[in-house]
Amino acid sequence: MELARATNRSVRLRNRSALLTRLFLDGPLTRQDLVRSTGLSQPAVSNVVADLIDEGLVAEAGAAESDGGRPSMLLRIAPRYAFVVGVDVGETRVRVELFDFAMTLLASIEYPLDPARTEPDVVAGHVLAGIDAVTGEAGVPTSDVLGVGIGVSGVVEQGVEAVVHAQALGWDRVPLERLIGAGTDLPLHIDNGAKTLGQAEMWFGAGRGARHAVFALVGSGVGASVVTNGATYRGASSSAGEWGHTTLVYGGRACRCGARGCLEAYVGAEAIIERYREARRGRAVPGEDEESQLAALVAAADTSATARRVLDETAGYLGAGVANLINLFNPQRVVLGGWAAMALGDLLPAVREAAGRQALRQPYEQASIEPCRLGVDAVALGAATLPIARFLTEGGVRR
């Protein structure tokens, strides 16, 4: 009897998970849409949907268009059922954002960081201050927050508590989850920023519909998220995707990680600006920070042969890096995201051309190289989906 009850409960949670996932990613949908997309029976869908409506997790969203007969009601996730916080811990700022359950942005705040001194305690303090700030601005009690997702540079070692290894930041086994958890009781979910960007683009952006894709994040540093058969590839200890630290030029430029010739040493924003400074015979690049300096380089390319040459070289290096991704992973899509990739958006045709020269012909012809669709918020948005992904997997049961 106990086994039968446990089995029935397991089946019901699996059905709830399937229905909630479809509604979250593709809603609003009718009950018949859910029958078709999940393979569940009409009675099973009706029973589970009734429970979800009673719990306030699903709401009716009006009648679907009808060719005749009684119109079907559309269903959607209830936007105010719960809220989630997404955090982007970059190398120059911490961005904290609050979303409702329909992933509508409700509040956002940023805290600048000194790239030369990115102390873990300072980052943790910004995250905690940001949670208070965005929930306070939106008038959302923390008891209504499902969880906090955090995307961070470096390797995130998952375990009882997430530990971050980020050589470029000088972080070695930083117990970031413990540092942040000391100031909040909210559930914390920490992952690499390229992986959270990849999840956001898979769910809502340029990755939708693809089963095999690579999402490249080009900012101050460089990383990637590899999705194979719909799931993020993590490797033995979740460090898979450190694309920026693959070797582009053996014995080449020094990289922040301590090695030489890494891709990041050529196409990371810091490296691009440094190559431009060197091309200007040591003269400083205009601008107060990396974003303004990269913008100055892009603007100068219209009239400066030196700036044009640096950008052309950058497109070639980036194209070679993309070709490596295509040869290694045979993706349907390579999506270029991150603030620096967006600033260099006009280079995309040249990047595609360079990738075509370097990649094997057959996998290159099968892959598209596309810009991200979600902009600079993609890392924080993807981070906010981390508690939601857990919630959906567990059948919509709050713990």
Each residue's pLDDT tens digit, 69-117: 567 889 999 999 999 999 999 888 899 999 999 999 999 999 998 877 7
**pLDDT value, residue 183:** 96
Q: Read out DSSP for 67-81?
A: SSSSPPEEEEE-TTS
348-396 residue pLDDT tens: 999 999 999 999 999 999 999 999 999 888 999 999 999 999 999 998 8
Phi, psi of 67 (to 5 degrees): -85, 5
Q: 180: how many CB neighbours lie within 10 A of its CB?
A: 24
Handedness of CA 283, 284, 290, 295 (dihedral sign): negative
Q: Which residue has the tokens 């490797």?
A: 235
β-sheet bridge partners, residue 152:
89, 192
3-state secondary structure at position 200 = helix
Q: How much of the chain exceeds pLDDT 90, in percent?
A: 78
Extract the tokens encoding 356. 């075509």
**pLDDT value, residue 385:** 96
